[in-house]
Structure 1
Amino acid sequence: MFSERWLCFCCPPMHKPPRRTIVAPIEQTESPSEARPPLQMNRMMGREKHKSELHLAAVVIIQTWFRRRRALFEIRRKAAWTIYQNIEYAGEQNQLKLYNFFLELMQTVAKNPRDVTVAAKVLRRTSSISGIAEELELEQLTSPVTISVEALYQGPHVDLPINKGHLESLIFAFQRGELLHAHYVLLILHELRRILKNLPNVNVVSTHQSTCVTVVGDLHGSLADLMIIFHKNGLPSNENPYIFNGDIVDRGFQSIEIFLLISVAFIVYPHNVYLNRGNHEDHVLNLRYGFMKEIIHKYKSHATRLLRLFENVYSWLPVASLIDDHIFVTHGGISNITDLAIINQIQRQKYVSVLSPSFIIPPNEDQFQIGNISNDLLLEWRQILDLLWSDPKQSDGCEPNTYRGGGCYWGPDVTKNILEKHKWSLLIRSHECKEEGFDYTHDKKVLTIFSASNYYAVGSNRGAYVKVITNQPPLIVQFISTKSSHKSLTLWERLVIKLK
């Protein structure tokens, strides 16, 4: 620790050699091939080759496993889809069979044939009184003045004339979960009915001024899907026309809200919002698939008035729309006897229920037989029934739709003949849930559009709508709604989780 000039006398002197800078000699590096013997190189190359083979085998195993899992998922998905559709169509068949069963039961047990006729008329919502008297009866029963608005009511208000502001306020109110008062519901339905009565059976739609029109398929009470469509595509207006292609109600929990929003949009823009009747715009199906129960639950003592007016409004809905004279839009489809000339001459208000039309039981006959119905009446009924209930099939021909219990199955040959006969280029329909929300069939001459996402269960299908643009191919937009809360996992959710 001391410097050299401070020495210890008890220790001998130590000699410290001077430091030298040692420089390592620069050696010439040898290449790996020269430094390693050939045997070692062969071993390393063998190891690398073995690793490559292991990697390739691992990739093949992973790909095989993934493809098997994908195939298993696809099998389960198709099986689940088939089960859901069978349940849905079986329900429609059972509803029709149950309806016919009650009619046959009454005819069997009733002693007085006149009682059978009266009971059947009650089921079929028809009346033996004249049209003027029936109109007065409906006005008296369903007039908005029969229901007063309570002072404590804090929901949205609607008054005449109905305008765009009412539409926007109803959208915000329904998104908050508010319920429109029965007085205003009757007011909207009567105004809707007044306009519908002046419309033809087939709406005439043109895209020459607006350049496009949006076709919306089945919504089935899904307010979330309608809000997504309005958000992505804009609210209905004179510059943004819409065609709502039926099945607005049933199955979902907000059918009344959706029907009212579409009705108000139609009232505000009667020349640019078009309504087509679907097979679920029918009180016979409402009885089974939830709309009647929804009205009873939400409006309680006023439900009878509302249901009666809804049934009458259904009968005045047009059954189809024709875009630019060459694109035919209807809910179900066509058949080998579809004739636009006959459809335009039908008095559609007679069909309060398409499944059980009122003309089947004449009002002045004590006994009824199917043979008494003329072929012209049966042909007329078939026209309406096929438009609302039919489905396309892959093979040629036309046969009864026994799967649903109404309408027909029609093939590519029928599509070709009917489109050529009327000089149409495309048929747009709904009525069937599709996994992607849309589907082309019959050499892209038939387009199915379904706008209710998550129809069978969460994640089961997308929704879609189509924009028909002047001199351009149809533009299809897909979407899917999300829910903030979920119940227990469904079959579709379990399959999606397993795939992930």
Structure 2
Amino acid sequence: MVDISAIIDQYSNIDNEVERAVKIKDEANKFFNFERAVKIKDEANKFFNSEKYDIAIELYSKAIELDPQQPAYFGNRSFAYLRRELFGLALNDANTAIELDPAYIKAYYRRASAKMALGKFKFALKDYESVCKFRPNDIDAKKKFEECRKIVKRIAFEKAIACDHDDKKLIDSINPDEFAVEENYKGPRLDGDITPEFMKDCIEAFKKEQKLHIKYAYKILLGVYQFLKAQDSLVHITVPDKKKFTICGDIHGQFYDLCNIFEINGLPSEENPYLFNGDFVDRGSFSVEVIFTLLGYKLLYPNHLYMARGNHESDTMNKMYGFEGEVKAKYNVKMSEFFTELFNQLPLVHVINRKIFCCHGGLFPDTNVTLEQLAKINRVRQPPEDGPMCGLLWSDPQDDDGIGLSKRGAGCQWGPDITKAFLEKNDLLYIVRSHEVKPEGYERHHDGQVWTIFSAPNYCDQIGNLGAFITIKGDNLYPPKITTFKEVPHPPSRPMMYGSSFLNFLS
């Protein structure tokens, strides 16, 4: 309880009654706020321990409003942001906690974790080193320091090796005919051109958790690679009048939900074209099945099945969130490395009938960028830390005008004014993007000028969201028609079962 009499006594030597009253009131409010903040923080901790991270974040934020000088509140909220994979916000809170108290060790842990997740391994190593100096007997700190140091060394080694082989591509070393098909192989066979029947056979085999033979897998990979290599970074799509076109968002390795989309909306064909708007892989443990289904249809219908690159079609994400591990487990290391080269070739943007702008993430601060400039982006690389390519893969819309800091630590948050200026500059109608899970599978932003579409229902078997996809017709582009759907059962392979031990850094 607050001792009001003690506060009164503390300021009894102030002669001016008004000044004395203001001081007493301010000091009493501090104590009241301190007590309220502690209670709210305790409630937030309960929700955190129950894995209700969004509620915990709201409560930590309220505690910070009441008592913004407590580094532990920022440290706790940073941890909750880490669990929600909002690494930019986690990093900001960890920095604030350290500014408030440079001896608050947990904040260095949180900052190191956020930096690891953002691929800033050298900076993370410095923070783990600081923790070890403060706590020389902390076994967990020593372990994470050593693991981080190994990653830094490995990256330096791989970079040195890459410099020696800059002109060599893995594609040049792959010949599918070198792989013999065993007599006991009972799966789909691709001995000539790819056919609709072959793709249906693949889907049925994948549903039974059967693997496509590596010979045929490489044939698909090489065929799609050669096609994508000739594409610009921005691809124009023409949808004729009265004809339907479907846009799907993140799939994230949820193969059985992808099959459900085809059950609801029909298989891809020349009469039933699709755009899959990035993040096909990672998290879900059927990413291999998803990617070979999509790539197979891409090879079969190259001008009617479109695939955009998402932020998860990148090396760092694939190492962390399971796709690399899954490809190694189901095929081999060489194929996982080839996927890195193939993902580098994926287009970044699709524009439908010169009116609908589709990308995985979103926009960027420079509203003067033209479609012609985007088409010429050098995309054959890992995602950069800034610029239009980064925004196209990573950014999120916000309600306020202007540009905000990214909650993820990459790209930005952009407001309605940025959307309006970009659309007007390029004579566009609206933007379709993905990248964020939504309770209903979609969300309308910026007065209908931006639409988020997310196609992985009950994301990671725990979020409980619906999935959704968009359909439009060539002569009826707006508003987009939204179809929502629930998750379907899948075999008991849990999400992230191929994920990296790297994720232990987030604990």
**Do these two structures clear the TM 0.5 threshold for a shared fold by scoring above it?**
yes
| Residue of structure 2 in register with 1:483 after alignment | 489
> d(CA) in 2 for partners of 1:86 and 1:262?
31
Question: Is 1:394 aligned with 2:399?
Answer: yes
* Code of the aligned partner of 2:347: P
**How far off its partner does 1:127 sit?**
4.0
* Code of the aligned partner of 1:100: K
- 1:227-238 residue pairs with structure 2 within 5 A? 227-238=259-270
**How far off its partner does 1:341 sit?**
2.6
> d(CA) in 2 for partners of 1:344 and 1:209?
25
| Residue of structure 2 in register with 1:122 after alignment | 158
- Which of 175, 178, 190 matches 2:207? 175
User: SS at the partner of 1:318?
Assistant: coil
> d(CA) in 2 for partners of 1:297 and 1:118?
21
Distance 1:95 1:256, change over 3 A: farther
5+ residue gaps, structure 1: 1-75, 109-115, 357-380, 489-500
User: SS at the partner of 1:443?
Assistant: helix
> d(CA) in 2 for partners of 1:95 and 1:186?
36
**How far off its partner does 1:400 sit?**
3.1
User: SS at the partner of 2:85?
Assistant: helix
> d(CA) in 1 for partners of 2:320 and 2:190?
31
Distance 1:232 1:474, change over 3 A: same
5+ residue gaps, structure 2: 1-51, 59-78, 92-112, 130-151, 495-507
Question: Is 1:319 aligned with 2:348?
Answer: yes
Aligned partners of 1:284 and 1:355 also within 8 Å: no
**How far off its partner does 1:337 sit?**
1.4
> d(CA) in 2 for partners of 1:348 and 1:125?
22
Question: Is 1:79 aligned with 2:79?
Answer: no
> d(CA) in 2 for partners of 1:320 and 1:126?
28
> d(CA) in 1 for partners of 2:160 and 2:265?
39
Distance 1:355 1:251, change over 3 A: farther
**How far off its partner does 1:458 sit?**
4.4
**How far off its partner does 1:262 sit?**
0.6
Distance 1:236 1:105, change over 3 A: same
* Code of the aligned partner of 1:122: E
> d(CA) in 2 for partners of 1:104 and 1:394?
32
**How far off its partner does 1:80 sit?**
7.9
| Residue of structure 2 in register with 1:23 after alignment | none
* Code of the aligned partner of 1:393: Q
TM-score by length of 2: 0.67
> d(CA) in 1 for partners of 2:493 and 2:203?
26
* Cα RMSD for the two superposed structures: 3.1
> d(CA) in 2 for partners of 1:91 and 1:155?
42
Question: Is 1:139 aligned with 2:172?
Answer: yes
**How far off its partner does 1:456 sit?**
4.5
| Residue of structure 2 in register with 1:32 after alignment | none
| Residue of structure 1 in register with 2:464 after alignment | 460
Distance 1:316 1:484, change over 3 A: closer
* Code of the aligned partner of 1:395: D
* Code of the aligned partner of 1:315: N
> d(CA) in 2 for partners of 1:448 and 1:406?
18
- Which of 112, 116, 131 matches 1:97? 116
User: SS at the partner of 1:89?
Assistant: coil
User: SS at the partner of 1:348?
Assistant: coil
> d(CA) in 1 for partners of 2:490 and 2:80?
24
**How far off its partner does 1:327 sit?**
0.5
> d(CA) in 2 for partners of 1:81 and 1:449?
25
| Residue of structure 1 in register with 2:423 after alignment | 419
Aligned partners of 1:464 and 1:478 also within 8 Å: yes
Q: Deviations over 1:204-257 (max 9, x none)?
A: 111116622100000000011111110111111111110000000000011011
**How far off its partner does 1:88 sit?**
3.6
Distance 1:208 1:153, change over 3 A: same
Aligned partners of 1:397 and 1:414 also within 8 Å: yes
Distance 1:487 1:195, change over 3 A: closer
Q: Which has the larger radius of gyration?
A: 1
Q: Which has the higher contact order (CA 8 A, sep 6+)?
A: 1
Distance 1:251 1:80, change over 3 A: farther
User: SS at the partner of 2:447?
Assistant: coil
User: SS at the partner of 2:120?
Assistant: helix
* Code of the aligned partner of 1:155: G
> d(CA) in 2 for partners of 1:450 and 1:125?
38
| Residue of structure 2 in register with 1:62 after alignment | none
Q: Deviations over 1:71-93 (max 9, x none)?
A: xxxxx796389898752424697
**How far off its partner does 1:147 sit?**
3.0
| Residue of structure 2 in register with 1:205 after alignment | 237
**How far off its partner does 1:485 sit?**
7.4
> d(CA) in 1 for partners of 2:183 and 2:493?
38
> d(CA) in 1 for partners of 2:216 and 2:452?
35
User: SS at the partner of 1:468?
Assistant: strand
User: SS at the partner of 1:404?
Assistant: coil
Aligned length: 372
Distance 1:256 1:355, change over 3 A: farther
User: SS at the partner of 2:313?
Assistant: coil
> d(CA) in 1 for partners of 2:171 and 2:240?
40
* Code of the aligned partner of 1:467: T
Question: Is 1:261 aligned with 2:293?
Answer: yes
* Code of the aligned partner of 1:343: L
Aligned partners of 1:469 and 1:475 also within 8 Å: no
TM-score by length of 1: 0.68
* Code of the aligned partner of 1:145: D
Aligned partners of 1:449 and 1:466 also within 8 Å: yes
| Residue of structure 2 in register with 1:149 after alignment | 181
> d(CA) in 2 for partners of 1:160 and 1:310?
23
Percent identical residues: 33
| Residue of structure 1 in register with 2:62 after alignment | none
Aligned partners of 1:210 and 1:238 also within 8 Å: no
> d(CA) in 2 for partners of 1:224 and 1:125?
39
| Residue of structure 2 in register with 1:366 after alignment | none
User: SS at the partner of 2:193?
Assistant: coil
Distance 1:487 1:105, change over 3 A: closer
User: SS at the partner of 1:474?
Assistant: strand
Aligned partners of 2:87 and 2:409 also within 8 Å: no
Distance 1:139 1:484, change over 3 A: closer
- 1:466-477 residue pairs with structure 2 within 5 A? 466-472=470-476, 473-477=479-483
* Code of the aligned partner of 1:305: K
- Shifted more, 426-435 versus 467-476: the winner is 467-476
> d(CA) in 2 for partners of 1:227 and 1:292?
23
> d(CA) in 1 for partners of 2:320 and 2:177?
31
> d(CA) in 1 for partners of 2:178 and 2:296?
21
* Code of the aligned partner of 1:270: P
> d(CA) in 2 for partners of 1:317 and 1:289?
20
